[in-house]
Structure 1
Amino acid sequence: MWPRAWLAKTVPGKHTACLGSGCMDSAQLETALGGPVVSGRMCPWHAGFAPALEARFQRDQAAHRLHLIRRASRLGAVFAIGMVLTDWFLLPDMFWQVLLLKGVLFPLVCVFGQQAVERWAPVALREWSLAGGGLLGVLICLYVSLSSQSVWALESLVVLDIVVMFVTAVARFLPALALSVATLAGHLAAIHAMQLMPHPVAQSSTILLMSLLAFTLYAAWVLERDERRAWLMARQEEDLQQELRRAHDAMAQTARTDSLTQLANRRHFDEVLGHVWADSVARRQSLAVLLVDVDHFKAFNDLHGHPAGDACLRAVAAAMRPCMRKGGDVMARWGGEEFAVVMSDTSLESARLVGERIRIAVSDMARPHAASRSGAVVSVSVGVSAMRPDSQSSLAELLRTADLCLYEAKSRGRNRVWARDADPYASDTLVSAA
């Protein structure tokens, strides 16, 4: 019933299927389908999935199935009313009882019973409500036929065929099977009670009913099998798409992240800087760039080795993170021992204060730096530049000014912040902090 080609995607030496909670191998897949697989097909008595997957299937199909059950209930009520006319011809002595049972009682049960089941019954019982309605129709037909004195009482049993065919066309396989068995038993019991078992019409009607049950049950089984197969394939496709999206997001995150410090890399920083610049031009808001350089880092590497140097860069990045504004700043590894920060909607003084917090945070790590000529611990120099851009402004000028400020901080003894407004129309303001 469930060929492996439909249910699993193949990887070398293994079959897997992704179904929401992770990937399953072929043995787990067999368990998920709720029954043993024989020669690549499932036994029809185990048509359901394993409990967790079956609950998901029922939940996903609930709205569609409810729509079908509503339609079937309404059509069943109309069909019962229409059968009153047929019984008026075949069973005239039972007309008033037929009118009460088929024209009033059964339609009311169909309409209001369906509403009650929809409101109070669990989802699983909705499927059995169809079989219950069909069984009520069968019992009414049997009662009318057995109570009538008409010569056409036996022929009226053909209505059972129509009832079963109507219900089986909508119901799931197991409820349809239960109704079919009950209908066949009732049909045989009615013929026996009429003492018409040897009658050719009784024999032919029994054969007709049995043939109809066989074909309709097979159709119900195939329809449910195909529905479950289509649902499973759709879920696999959804889960695969989710896995691909997660993999794509992970790859995109890797492409944007520096593997050593877990900060944004230079490429991602350039993209963000371009977006922030364009937004600042449109809003006429000031933005700032900070360039941070670890003082005498080459000497630290030469003395302690590259692993210690890598650990130092990770520690500097960790010390810088708390100094950023939440949501407004982007920090990146600019290259080597240099870091960069872009701050939107900020003034030169505010950016300088952030640079000062960074400088103090790195110094407070108290990481020994015996090879430094500017202090006994690891320190940083910070260049800060700010600008309120317009159509005549240049992002290159902002970066160039920040780089010049960083050079100035390093040339004045390092372990300090140097800031300058990059606006060409403003005075050249230099601010330092030891």
Structure 2
Amino acid sequence: MIEGLKSMLPAAASAAADGTRPAVSPAPADPSAADTLTPEDRALSTLIEDTLRGGIGWLRFPRMLEARFQRETADYRLKTLVIAGTLVAFVLNLFLISDYAMIPDMFDQALMARLWIFTPVCLIGLWLMVKIHHVLLRETMAIGADLLAGAIQMWLCISSHSPHAQAYTTGMAMIILYSNIYVRTRFWLAAPTCVALLLMYAGSLWLFPEPKLELMAPIGLVLLSTAVFTLFYLYTLEHEERLNYLLAVRQKLLQQELSSANRQLERVSRVDALTQVANRRHFDTFLSQLWERAKRDDAEVGIVMLDVDCFKPYNDHYGHPAGDACLVQVAQALRHSLRRPGDLVARYGGEEFIAVLYKAGPAQAEAAAERVRSAVYALALPHAASFVDQVVTVSVGVATMRPSDRHASPQRLISLADEALYRAKNRGRNRVCLHTATVLQPGGSSSSAAGAPPC
């Protein structure tokens, strides 16, 4: 989809002289200013695509992507670990109820181990988790609590002389379930943790004075099944989490690239492809908006309309590529001469340009137009086919108006500027003319010269 949008940019640029979409910015954006993906983002996008193609069966990303994943999920994991750790620090003390029922001879030791050893260790661990920023160390502390809980459970059972002591080893299943389901330890840390807990249970077969195999074997199968099923759940959960992470990052990068392409399309829809100034559609939209603003401010709006003198002979003499280069330089001179915030320069069609000036009275607009005429003349672009001068010149028409004036409208303002331009052409070209018929000669003096051969 992104590539399709990019392929549309040249076609949109070729039609930009007429414009296709209104915009509100006073001047076209520089093409180099368009937001694009950084090289790092492009490398990340490529890495994500490669990872998705290769699969994440081992629940590991390439090093750079893995570091990013761990960093961006660290806060969520910390929140999960803190909540789970806080609960287990107190909930595991509920085992004291079953301790009293199943192994009453070890209740005092259970009270000491659970309440005065396990609970403080968990609380201190939670405090440390918040302080440290090493992700693996946080996870290791979490499985350390699981192993401590398992060790306490097996120690109490093995040390008890209660006839229910061996059956009470089923409490290990609750520890496995809590660790894998609620804490959701990372799979490659949960797997060795489960193995360690199962080995603790297996070791009890040699540590119980008289192990009852007909009881211990089914319990062992229950613990093994619990570990296998919960590990499968953990694997599926982490696989889905990692896959969703990749898809989310890829979506974010695609949206960023799509936004960049949309901005580029918007830019070319309101910019003349040749001269890189606003096109006529954008000018019309901007003038309409500026007119409404001027109504509220009771401000004058000025229009400067200019035409390159004898441009057709220029094209015939120097060729169309040279003519295009000439228009580009004229547009640049126009932009550099009218740099006030709120002013807009546009290509009006062919060799004709137009500018709108906000809060510009007749004197200001006339002075701005003379700056434009002088700037183009100063370019000294050779024009051997012109009857006006040996260099490229422009004729400029100027008009100003307040929206509150009688019969005022944007169309009327443009019409007056066009009439002034026509008079400037008829009076010898290379001059500025206000719609009041005041004419500035090159250098600023007035004239009422009439008649000039058409070209």
User: Counterpart of 2:420 in structure 1: which amino acid?
Assistant: C
Tell me if the contact between 1:197 and 1:203 (Cα under 8 Å) persists in the aligned partners.
no
Whole-Å Cα distance in 2 between the matches of residues 397 and 355 of structure 1? 19
Matches within 5 A, 1:134-173: 134-169=146-181, 170-173=184-187
User: Where does residue 106 of structure 2 map in the other structure?
Assistant: 94
1:287 maps to a residue whose letter is V
Distance 1:106 1:391 in 2: 87
Alignment of 1:29-68 (within 5 A): 31-32=50-51, 37=54, 42-43=56-57, 46-68=58-80
1:253 and 2:261 correspond: no
Write the deviation string for residues 360-382 of structure 1: whole angstroms up to 9, x where unpaired: 22111111111111111112122
Q: Distance in 1 between matches of 2:76 and 2:146?
A: 20
Of 193, 200, 204 in structure 2, the residue corresponding to residue 186 of structure 1 is: 200
Structure 1 residues 429, 102: CA separation in 2 closer, same or farther (over 3 Å shift)?
farther
Structure 1 distance, partners of 2:136, 2:358, is 56
> Which piece of structure 1 moves more, 209-218 or 362-371?
362-371
2:240 to 204, 221, 226: 226
Partner residue in 1 for 2:143: 131
Residue 404 of structure 1, CA deviation: 1.4
Q: SS of 1:21's equivalent? A: helix
Question: Does structure 1 residue 368 correspond to structure 2 residue 382?
Answer: yes
Offset of residue 433 of structure 1: 4.7
Contact 1:32/1:53, CA 8 A, preserved across alignment: no
For the 8 Å contact 1:31–1:50, the answer to whether it is kept is no
Which residue in 1 is equivalent to 2:42?
Answer: 22
Q: How far did residue 61 of structure 1 move?
A: 2.9
Q: Which residue of 2 aligns with 1:243?
A: 257
Residue in 1 that maps onto 2:83: 71
What residue number does 1:207 align with?
221
Q: Which amino acid aligns with 2:174?
A: I
Change (3 A) 1:278 1:377: same
**Structure 1: 5+ residue runs without aligned partners?**
1-8, 12-18, 421-427
Check if 1:408 corresponds to 2:441.
no
Displacement of 1:89: 2.0
Partner amino acid for 1:298? K
Moved more, 243-252 or 177-186: 243-252
The structure showing larger relative contact order (alpha-carbon pairs under 8 Å, at least 6 residues apart) is: 2
**Matched AA of 2:375:** A
Tell me how far 1:23 sits from its aligned partner.
8.0
Moved more, 71-80 or 329-338: 71-80
Paired with 2:3 and 2:374, the residues of 1 have a C-alpha distance of 56
Q: Distance in 2 between matches of 1:350 and 1:133?
A: 80
Give CA deviations for 1:384-423 in whole Å, capped at 9, x if unaligned: 2122212852111111111112122222222222234xxx
Structure 2 distance, partners of 1:321, 1:239, is 36
Which amino acid in the other structure matches residue 233 of structure 2?
A
Distance 1:150 1:237 in 2: 60
State the 1:42 CA deviation: 4.5
Distance 1:412 1:30, change over 3 A: closer
- Unaligned runs of at least 5 residues, structure 2: 5-38, 443-455
2:320 is the alignment partner of 1:300: no
Which residue is equivalent to 1:268? Answer: 282
Task: Decide whether aligned partners of structure 1 residues 220 and 283 sit closer, same or farther in structure 2, where only a CA change above 3 A counts.
Answer: same
Task: Give 1:235 deviation, angstroms.
Answer: 2.8
Paired residues of 1:131 and 1:178 also in contact (CA < 8 A): no
CA distance, structure 1, for counterparts of residue 220 and residue 387 of structure 2: 106
Counterpart amino acid of 1:401?
A: L
Aligned partner letter, 2:410: L
Cα contact 2:303–2:356 (8 A) shared by 1: yes
Q: Name the residue aligned to 2:411.
A: 396
1:260-339 matches, within 5 Å, as 260-339=274-353
**1:391–1:291 distance in 2 versus 1, CA, 3 Å:** closer
Distance 1:390 1:115, change over 3 A: farther
State whether residues 141 and 157 of structure 1, in contact with CA within 8 Å, keep that contact through their aligned partners in structure 2.
yes
Match of 1:15 in 2: none
Q: CA RMSD in A?
A: 2.8
Which AA in structure 1 matches 2:428?
G
Aligned length: 405
The code of the aligned residue for 1:21 comes to: D
Task: Give TM-score scaled by structure 1 length.
Answer: 0.85
| Alignment check: 8 A CA contact 1:58 1:124 kept | no
Cα distance in structure 1, aligned partners of 2:65 and 2:441: 64
Q: Is the 8 A contact 1:154 1:191 kept in 2?
A: no
Alpha-carbon deviations, 1:183-209, whole Å to 9, x = none? 112211232222556622221211111
